[in-house]
Amino acid sequence: MNKKVKIYDKEYLVLEFDSEMGRTYEPEGFFEQLKGKPYEEQVKYYNYNYSYERSRVYAGGDETGTGPHQYGGNISKLDYVDAIIVNDKDVIVGFRIKGSITLAGYAYSYEVEENNGAGYKTYSESESLTCIVVK
């Protein structure tokens, strides 16, 4: 497809949805409410949230950390989104965010704790693409 569209003041690449991209988790009626609306209107129904936290606790009791860090908001306001993904009905079903495909209703959470004998290292992150359904 390789076409580009302008949404507000930003240009996005338009990618066609392909089942190899993954699966959408559409709340009932969500895509139907977007059908027929221009892209500028459709993006208003998506919020993106991301957070991560890292810390290290050493045997001596010293603690260092880098979190928590959170960012997100309406998808159209984020600089690191460069493409919209549309289905065969011209409805936005996802976005390319920081180079990765993220589809409607996507949620991800990851947590790791490691003890190497000298102390603990922990890391957690979460990401979600929230669909806003208007009733």
pLDDT at 122: 81
Give the number of domains in the chain: 1
pLDDT at 118 over 90: no
**Confidence band for 42, pLDDT divided at 50, 70 and 90:** very high
Distance CA 50, CA 23 (A): 20
Domain ranges, residue 8: 3-131
What sections of 1-135 are H helices per DSSP?
30-34, 39-42
